[in-house]
C-alpha cells in the first residue's frame, strides 16, 4: 500500500505533490512501463474463464445456468481478494416478471460507501432463443471472462483496484428481437438509476464497458456516440431532480476516446482499435444518459456469428482477449487514473 501523506504545514507544500497524489490522500506511484499491469494480462487465462462459462450452456436472465455463472464469477473474484454484492431487482419483461442480479465488485472489505474513480463493466447474460442453443462465446462470454482476468491482475496493485468498481450486468439482452424502451439493458438501467440516488462525491467519474471482445479477427470500434433526445428513453430516469449535462459528457467521451487510441498506439495495436462513427445501443447508454458517467464501449460489432448458433469457442481467440485486456489496462492505469 502507498503511505498516507498529510498536509500539516503550510498548505502550499501539499500542492507541490499534486502530480503524484489525488488531493492530499493516497499518493499515486508514477506510471512505469516495467511494472504496468498490462504486462500481466493473460489471454490464455481469460480464455479458460470463457471456456468454463460456455461449458455451463445458454445463460439467459432468470435461468439456473445464469445462477451457475454468478457462482463461478463470485468464486474467482473472492479468491483474488474482491468483495461482491448482489444487486437484485425484478422487472416485467415480454416473458413476464423476471428477477435480475447485477454483480457489484469492490476490492477489499467493506468499501461500499467510499468514493471511486471509475467502472469496468460487462454483461454476463446470453440472449434467449427457443429454436437453437445459444452459448454466447463472444457475446457475452468473452467480456465476462476477460473482466474476471482483469480483476485478478488488478489485485496485484491494491492501490489501483481500490479506486475502481467492477460490474457484471444482468439482462443486457432483450427478450424480444431487439432492445427497446421496455426490453433489454435491464441491469445497466437499474444500476444507473440507483447511482443517481448516491452522493455525487462517491460516484464514478468514468466507465469502460467491454462487450464482444474475443473475435479472432479483432476490430474494436469503440462506441462513444450519445443518443439523441428521442432515444434517451432507453434509460430509466433515476432521481427525478437529477439532470445530466450531455454536452459535458460528450466532451469527456471525446477525451477518453483519444486516450484509448493513445493506449493502442503505445502497445502497437492501433490497427485493431478504432472509434465507431455509429450509435450503438449497449449498457453504456444508461450510464451516460441517466447517471452522467462518460462510459466508452469497447466492442467489435463486426462479428458474423452475432446472435447465431455459430457464436462458439472456435470463433474467439486468447490473442484477441489479451489485446483487449492490455489496451484496457493501459487506458485505465496510464491515462484515466493518472488524470484525476
Q: In CATH, what number is assigned to the domain containing residue 210?
A: 3.40.630.10
Q: Does residue 16 share a domain with residue 121?
A: no
Q: Is residue 35 part of a domain?
A: no
| Mean pLDDT value across residues 220-230 | 88
Q: Is residue 170 part of a domain?
A: yes
Q: Does residue 124 share a domain with residue 13?
A: no
Q: Is residue 112 part of a domain?
A: yes
Q: Does residue 270 share a domain with residue 232?
A: yes
Helix intervals (H) in the chain: 11-16, 43-56, 64-79, 143-154, 158-161, 186-195, 246-266, 284-289, 318-330
What pLDDT was estimated at residue 129?
Answer: 96
| Mean pLDDT value across residues 247-274 | 97
| Predicted confidence band of residue 21 (pLDDT cuts 50, 70, 90) | very low
Q: Is residue 150 part of a domain?
A: yes
Torsion sign (Cα): 17, 28, 198, 295: positive
Q: Is residue 12 part of a domain?
A: yes
Q: Classify strands 164-169 and 96-107 as parallel, antiparallel or unpaired.
A: antiparallel
CA 59 – CA 217 distance, rounded (Å): 25
| Predicted confidence band of residue 320 (pLDDT cuts 50, 70, 90) | very high
> What is each CA distance from 319 to 34, 68, 94, 170, 210, in whole angstroms?
21, 27, 38, 26, 16
Q: Does residue 24 share a domain with residue 147?
A: no
CA 207 – CA 55 distance, rounded (Å): 29
Q: Does residue 290 share a domain with residue 252?
A: yes
Q: Does residue 11 share a domain with residue 114?
A: no
What pLDDT was estimated at residue 153?
Answer: 98
Phi, psi of 81 (to 5 degrees): 95, 10
Task: Judge contact between 239 and 299, C-beta under 8 A.
Answer: no
Q: Does residue 305 share a domain with residue 173?
A: yes
Task: Judge contact between 109 and 10, C-beta under 8 A.
Answer: no
Structural domain total, the chain: 2
CA 31 – CA 152 distance, rounded (Å): 19
Residue 236 has pLDDT above 80, yes or no: no
| Predicted confidence band of residue 252 (pLDDT cuts 50, 70, 90) | very high
Strand partners, 316: 215
| Mean pLDDT value across residues 217-239 | 83
Residue 284 region, left (φ>0) first, then alpha (ψ -120 to 50), else beta? alpha
What pLDDT was estimated at residue 237?
Answer: 74
CA 34 – CA 32 distance, rounded (Å): 5
The three grid cell numbers given for residue 311, joined into one nine-digit string: 457464436
Q: Does residue 122 share a domain with residue 69?
A: yes
Q: Does residue 194 share a domain with residue 45?
A: yes
Residue 206: enclosing H or E segment and its boundaries? strand 206-211
Give the structural domain span for 237.
40-336
Burial class, 104, CB count within 10 angstroms (exposed 0-12 / middle 13-18 / buried 19+)? middle
Residue 259 in 3-state DSSP? helix
Question: Looking at 23-27, 99-103, 180-184, which range is the least confident one?
Answer: 23-27
Q: Does residue 284 share a domain with residue 138?
A: yes
CA 169 – CA 298 distance, rounded (Å): 15
Give the residue from 218, 246, 211, 216 showing the smallest Cα distance to 231: 246
| Mean pLDDT value across residues 143-155 | 98
Q: Does residue 46 share a domain with residue 21?
A: no
Give the residue from 36, 35, 27 showing the smallest Cα distance to 330: 36
Q: Does residue 189 share a domain with residue 210?
A: yes
Q: Is residue 319 part of a domain?
A: yes
Neighbours of 284 (CB within 10 A): 30
DSSP assigned state of 241: T
Amino acid at each position: 500500500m502507498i503511505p498516507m501523506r498529510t498536509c500539516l504545514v503550510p498548505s502550499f507544500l501539499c500542492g507541490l505533490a499534486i502530480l503524484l497524489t489525488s488531493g492530499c490522500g493516497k499518493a499515486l506511484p508514477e506510471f512505469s512501463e516495467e511494472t504496468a499491469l498490462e504486462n500481466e494480462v493473460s489471454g490464455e487465462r481469460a480464455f479458460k474463464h470463457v471456456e468454463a462459462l460456455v461449458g455451463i450452456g445458454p445463460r439467459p436472465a432468470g435461468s439456473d445456468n445464469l445462477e451457475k455463472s454468478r457462482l463461478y464469477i463470485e468464486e474467482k473474484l473472492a479468491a483474488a481478494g474482491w468483495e461482491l454484492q448482489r444487486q437484485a431487482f425484478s422487472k416485467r419483461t415480454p416473458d413476464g416478471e423476471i428477477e435480475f442480479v447485477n454483480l457489484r465488485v469492490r476490492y477489499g472489505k467493506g468499501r461500499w460507501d467510499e468514493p471511486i474513480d471509475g467502472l469496468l463493466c460487462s454483461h454476463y447474460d446470453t440472449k434467449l432463443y427457443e429454436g437453437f442453443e445459444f452459448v454466447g462465446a463472444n457475446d457475452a462470454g468473452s467480456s465476462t471472462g476477460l473482466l474476471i482476468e482483469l480483476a485478478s491482475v488488478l489485485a496485484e496493485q491494491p492501490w489501483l483496484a481500490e479506486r475502481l468498481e467492477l460490474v457484471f450486468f444482468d439482462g443486457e439482452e432483450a427478450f424480444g428481437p431487439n432492445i427497446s424502451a421496455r426490453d433489454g439493458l435491464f441491469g445497466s438501467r437499474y444500476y444507473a438509476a440507483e447511482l443517481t440516488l448516491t452522493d455525487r462525491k462517491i460516484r464514478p467519474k468514468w466507465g469502460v464497458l467491454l462487450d464482444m471482445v474475443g473475435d479472432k479477427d479483432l476490430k474494436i470500434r469503440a462506441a462513444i456516440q450519445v443518443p439523441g433526445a428521442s432515444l434517451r428513453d432507453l434509460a430509466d430516469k433515476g432521481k427525478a431532480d437529477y439532470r445530466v449535462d450531455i454536452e459535458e459528457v460528450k466532451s469527456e467521451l471525446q477525451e477518453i476516446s483519444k486516450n484509448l487510441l493513445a493506449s493502442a498506439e503505445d502497445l502497437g495495436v492501433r490497427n485493431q482499435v478504432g472509434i465507431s462513427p455509429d450509435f450503438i445501443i449497449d449498457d453504456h447508454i444508461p450510464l451516460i444518459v441517466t447517471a452522467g458517467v462518460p462510459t466508452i464501449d469497447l466492442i467489435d460489432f463486426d462479428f458474423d456469428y452475432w446472435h447465431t448458433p455459430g457464436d462458439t469457442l472456435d470463433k474467439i481467440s486468447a490473442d484477441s482477449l489479451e489485446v483487449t485486456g492490455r489496451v484496457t489496462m493501459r487506458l485505465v492505469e496510464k491515462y484515466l487514473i493518472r488524470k484525476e
